[in-house]
Structure formats: structure tokens, C-alpha cells
Amino acid sequence: MAGAKRSGASGHIFLGLRCAQPPATDTEARFHLDKAGYFACKLDLLADDRAIETEVFHLAALLELWSEDLLDSKTSVRSDFAGIGGEYGLHCAENIVGSLGTAGTDAMDAWSIHPYRYPRGPEESDLIGEVTRIADRVAEAGGRGKAWITEIGWPTHRGPGGSDEAAQARYCVRTHVLLKSTGVVEKIFWYDFKDDGLNRRYNEHNFGLIHHQHFNCAPKPGIVALSVLIRMTAAAKFETLRHTGNVWSAVYRKSDGREVMVAWTDDETASVTLSGQAEAIFNMMGNSQPVSTSIELTGDPVYIVGKELKIQTNTRSSEKDQP
């Protein structure tokens, strides 16, 4: 936390709240979860350099813990609480709806899911469809907030269910773009930043975008690919996602009117023709590529910068636009 403070970043600590006993008061009832799901609270700590790990059973205990801690602090600290109701698994939509029924539709600032799909790719496993269907169900039940994807990732362990580091990188970029296209996702929390252990055959030790500190936190391709996506789309507004056959392309628009197109295939190779006024092309790792009207797309996304950009595949098939 001290390092984050020096760099001007704030910290987010998520605490799972579960009620061991039925709520005793109306205030407590608003945060009671029963069997339907869970809430998480986000605390924006701008000064505290100590990480607090604890299990709390209701909101009152959480507020009491933090009020005592902050009263002892001589530094100004701002804390924000966001009620996040959510679940993961086959029945997550109904669990979120159950939370709404228990706590009330105004008790959630957002709802959370963990739509893991490794080792499959996000397109093959219909990430957009799954998230959109859950969002529709939550909205029908009166939910007002957008989705927070509080966990999603691809582990690079050896053995069943593992992905190689290149696959993790491409899926990371494609997942962020696809989730953005839904219009219902507000935040994405990638799981996770650093490998948690050294067992190369254990998935939970290999989710990181960088290696374990035993290896000096050496970067995997995923951390570079994600940083390139952030830089290429910074301050740009998402406009549309287009899917033609096995070719995907998303368009972001910058404030100066230029477009940034992110284009890829669902892990196969496809020849496409680029039209419009292309100024520059960059690969997934941010390296400049020759500008050409003929491009070979693969599962690794590329970035095309210019105006009135369009790509056409050699084989026409049904075309879908995602606003």
C-alpha cells in the first residue's frame, strides 16, 4: 500500500461478507446474504500502508473494525464502500436474483461474477452470451447496477486445464475487448497479477501475468499484451464489435476522430482485406507492422489505427454487430 501511495494509486481490498446468524436489525438485513450469494466491500485506502486480512460476518463488524483502525491514524484516509452482490458457477444468475430478493434491489451498487472458461477461448465458450444472459436476468429482477467481473483468468500450469503463456496473453486481450462490447460490464479484475506459488502443475499457483517473486517477478507475455491494450485504447470510446465467420474486429474512437481497430480470429488464420485510411498497425506486443491492405489475422490481436477502417474476409458469412 505504501508503494501504491507513492505512485499515486489507490488500493482496493475486497472482503467477503457472510452472515453467520440471521440479521438482527433492518440495517443488517440489507446486507444479509442467506444462501443466495455474497457481498464484497471496496475500500479505497489512500494512506494506510498495512494490509488487514480478516473475516467479518456482518456490516456492523466491518465498520467497527475500520472505524477503530482509522481513528488511530494520523493521516487523512478516504474509504468508499460499494455493495457488490454476486456468485459464480452454473446457477450464478439465480443466486444474484436471490440476493436481490433478500437484500432489496437498491442494496447492490453492482453485481459480480467469475466467468472462468479456461482452457477454452472466450469466443468458443460464448463469453459474451453468458454475461449478457446473466445481465438480462438480473435486470428483469430489478437489479440496477452493472457487472463487475471480479475474477477471470487463464492459468499457465502444466497439465490438464493449463494454457501456454502465449495463449494466456491473447485470451487476456480478447476477453477485455469482448466484455467491453457487452455494454453491461463496468469493471474487470484479472485473476491474477502474480503467480502465487512454485508448483508448475497446480493451477492456483500459475494464474499470474508475471512470475512468482522467486523468479524476480519476471513478466509473462500477458502483462505486456495487456499494457499494450491499455495504451492503444486509452481515452478512446468503444463503438462496435463485428464478427464475420472466424474473424472478430472491435472499433474504438479517439477524441481526435481516429479509430483504433482491434482485430483477431478465434485461433485460426484468416486472410482479410483492409480498407479505409490506415496509418499504423501494431501487433499484440506493441511492435509496429507494415501497413498493407492485405493482412493475415491469427488468434493474436492486432491494432490498426486510422479512419473509416473496415476489414473484409475472403469468405463471406453471417455478420453480427455488437453495439
pLDDT in tens, 265-275: 997 899 999 99
Per residue in 165-218, pLDDT (tens digit) is 999 999 999 999 999 999 999 999 999 999 999 999 999 999 999 999 999 999
Domain boundaries, the chain: 2-233, 237-322
Per residue in 117-162, pLDDT (tens digit) is 999 999 999 999 999 999 999 999 998 888 999 899 999 999 999 9
Residue located via cell numbers 512470475: 211
User: In terms of pLDDT, which residue wins out, 102 or 179?
Assistant: 179
Mean pLDDT of 103-127: 89
Q: Is the pLDDT of residue 306 over 60?
A: yes
User: In terms of pLDDT, which residue wins out, 52 or 8?
Assistant: 8
Predicted confidence at residue 50, as pLDDT, reads 32
The answer to whether residues 119 and 161 touch, using CB atoms and an 8 Å cutoff, is: yes
Beta bridge partners of 311: 274
Q: Is the pLDDT of residue 14 over 80?
A: no
Per residue in 55-94, pLDDT (tens digit) is 323 333 444 444 444 444 444 444 444 556 566 666 788 8
pTM, 2 dp: 0.78
- Grid cell for residue 113: 461474477
Rounded Cα distance between 65 and 301, Å, is 46
Predicted confidence at residue 84, as pLDDT, reads 65
Predicted confidence at residue 322, as pLDDT, reads 55
Q: Name the class of domain 237-322.
A: mainly beta
The answer to whether residues 185 and 194 touch, using CB atoms and an 8 Å cutoff, is: no
Predicted confidence at residue 126, as pLDDT, reads 96
Q: Is the pLDDT of residue 51 over 60?
A: no
Mean pLDDT of 12-24: 45
DSSP strand E in 118-269: where? Answer: 147-149, 185-188, 237-244, 247-253, 259-265
Other Cβ atoms within 10 Å of 145 Cβ, number: 20
Predicted confidence at residue 143, as pLDDT, reads 87
